């Protein structure tokens, strides 16, 4: 079969032949129709994600949309190594199969779950968002950040503030529900900007950046008096687009109401929570309440597409049925 094959970490996958999967117990053969190029897929290929590929060569990709032998269109995830989603065929664990609503086109259905469910869980599950709270999205101009802005509103956030570098994408976020935006700019003090827009503080921060922007955020939350914090602020760490490490002064934690937790593949919730979030995200997309921008690309063009980064748009590899 044809697939996006990883032959060396750090190099983009190549479109070439790969052995067809042999089904193991509990797996279903899926003929793949589309698979998104996600940030986690890129990081695993680069060798920079904590969940790496066990051995090479291997096929890239963690999830996608395709058809089972009886013609049912399904979303699938977590294929067994060395098989990935970016291939003509995949051996998909039956427990990670879910039907796709007829109202969703295949490209959108492939693009939405990874980012959409991550955003939904970061807010509702890890972040514990409740109606009427104020939310800050750090790195809101990326695909998942855009969805997080929309999901926060759908979950009842009173106010959503979006932080990002691309002004065009920030303008788009205002259309998608952001109540205020902050532009990352090397010439401006981000800590001062965040403090100015915080009002009486944020209940929840979803962070896709880490690095220097996270340090600026923590500075903006720190207090220099002996009074009590205005409110608790839970920071959910999801991505590291601006760096994998920060400097965290001990006093910053003692002088604020800051709590830091992580949301990722290493601390996924129970399967029933995942299934419920998946259903809510897809239902919102069917209603038109959740929007994702997509660009379809043939699987054969995977090498050229791998390092492209169209701001806020998810690239989806497609296969001819």
pLDDT tens, residue by residue, 73-129:
999 999 999 999 999 999 999 988 999 999 999 999 999 999 999 999 999 999 999
If we measure between CA atoms, which residue out of 309, 306, 245, 287 comes closest to residue 6?
306
pLDDT tens digit sequence for 31-80:
999 999 998 899 999 888 877 777 899 999 999 999 999 999 999 999 99
In a domain, 212, yes or no: yes
CATH of residue 86's domain is 3.90.180.10
The reply to whether 18 falls in a domain is yes
280 in a structural domain: yes
pLDDT at 226: 47
Here the contacts of 288-293 (C-beta below 8 Å, separation 24 or greater) are: 289/150, 289/154, 290/112, 290/116, 290/147, 290/150, 290/151, 290/154, 291/150, 291/176, 292/108, 292/111, 292/112, 292/115, 292/116, 292/143, 292/146, 292/147, 293/143, 293/146
Name the region of 193 (left: φ>0; alpha: ψ -120 to 50; beta: rest).
alpha
Q: Does residue 119 lie in a domain region?
A: no
- Confidence band of 267 (pLDDT split at 50, 70, 90): confident
> What is the number of domains present in the chain?
2
End residue of a domain, out of 239, 262, 285: 262
48-57 own/partner pairs: CB under 8 Å, 24+ apart:
50/266, 51/265, 51/266, 52/9, 53/6, 53/9, 53/81, 53/82, 54/81, 54/82, 55/81, 55/82, 56/6, 56/7, 56/8, 56/9, 56/82, 57/5, 57/6, 57/7, 57/18, 57/82
How high is the mean pLDDT of the chain?
Answer: 92
Residue 109 lies in a domain: yes
Q: Tens of pLDDT along 119-174?
A: 999 999 999 999 999 999 999 999 999 999 999 999 999 999 999 998 888 999 99
Are the CB atoms for 275 and 293 separated by under 8 Å?
A: no
Q: Is residue 74 part of a domain?
A: yes
Residue 315 pLDDT: 97
Which residues, at least 6 apart from 249, have a Cβ–Cβ distance to it below 8 Å? Answer: none
**Whether 137 and 253 share a structural domain:** yes
> For residue 1, which of 70, 69, 67, 85 has the smallest C-alpha distance?
85
Nearest to residue 253, comparing CAs of 210, 207, 218? 218
Same domain, yes or no, for 205 and 301?
no
Q: In the listed set 224, 242, 262, which residue is the last one of a domain according to the structure?
A: 262
Give yes or no: residues 181 and 72 share one domain: no
Tell whether 135 and 236 lie within a shared domain: yes
Q: Range of 194's domain?
A: 128-262
Residues 151 and 233 in one domain: yes
Q: 43 with 100, same domain?
A: yes
Closest CA to 304 of 13, 1, 2: 13
250 and 157 in one domain? yes
Indicate the pLDDT class of residue 220, thresholds 50, 70 and 90: very high
Where does a domain end: 238, 262, 286? Answer: 262
Same domain for 86 and 132, yes or no, is no
Instruction: Report the alpha-carbon distance of residue 240 to residue 185 in Å, rounded.
Output: 18
Q: Are residues 99 and 139 both part of a single domain?
A: no
Do residue 238 and residue 300 come from a single domain?
no
Does 123 fall in a domain? no
Indicate if 139 and 243 belong to the same structural domain: yes
Q: Is 121 inside a domain boundary? A: no
CATH number at residue 168: 3.40.50.720
Same domain, 34 and 132: no
């Amino acid at each position: 079969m044809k697939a996006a094959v990883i032959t060396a970490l750090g190099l983009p996958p190549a479109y070439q032949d790969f052995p067809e999967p042999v089904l193991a117990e509990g797996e279903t053969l899926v003929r793949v129709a589309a698979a998104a190029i996600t940030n986690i897929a890129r990081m695993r290929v680069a060798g920079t994600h904590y969940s790496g590929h066990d051995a090479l060569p291997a096929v890239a990709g963690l999830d996608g949309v395709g058809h089972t032998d009886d013609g049912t269109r399904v979303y699938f995830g977590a294929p067994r190594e060395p098989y990935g989603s970016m291939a003509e065929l995949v051996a998909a664990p039956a427990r990670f199969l879910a039907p796709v609503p007829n109202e969703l086109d295949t490209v959108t259905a492939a693009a939405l779950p990874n980012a959409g469910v991550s955003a939904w869980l970061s807010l509702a599950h890890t972040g514990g968002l409740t109606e009427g709270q104020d939310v800050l999205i750090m790195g809101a101009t990326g695909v998942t950040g855009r969805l997080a802005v929309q999901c926060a509103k759908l979950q009842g956030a009173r106010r959503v503030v979006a932080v990002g570098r691309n002004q065009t994408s920030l303008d788009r976020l205002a259309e998608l529900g952001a109540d205020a935006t902050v532009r990352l700019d090397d010439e401006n003090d981000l800590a001062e900007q965040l403090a100015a827009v915080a009002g009486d503080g944020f209940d929840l921060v979803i962070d896709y950046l880490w690095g220097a922007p996270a340090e600026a955020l923590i500075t903006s939350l720190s207090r220099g008096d002996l009074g009590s914090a205005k409110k608790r602020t839970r920071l959910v760490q999801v991505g590291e687009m601006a760096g994998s490490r920060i400097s965290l002064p001990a006093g910053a934690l003692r002088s604020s109401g800051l709590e830091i937790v992580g949301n990722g593949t290493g601390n996924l919730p129970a399967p029933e929570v995942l299934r419920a979030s998946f259903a809510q995200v897809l239902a919102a997309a069917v209603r038109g309440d959740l929007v994702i921008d997509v660009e379809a690309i043939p699987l054969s063009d995977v090498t050229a597409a791998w390092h492209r980064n169209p701001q806020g748009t998810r690239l989806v590899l497609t296969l001819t049925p």
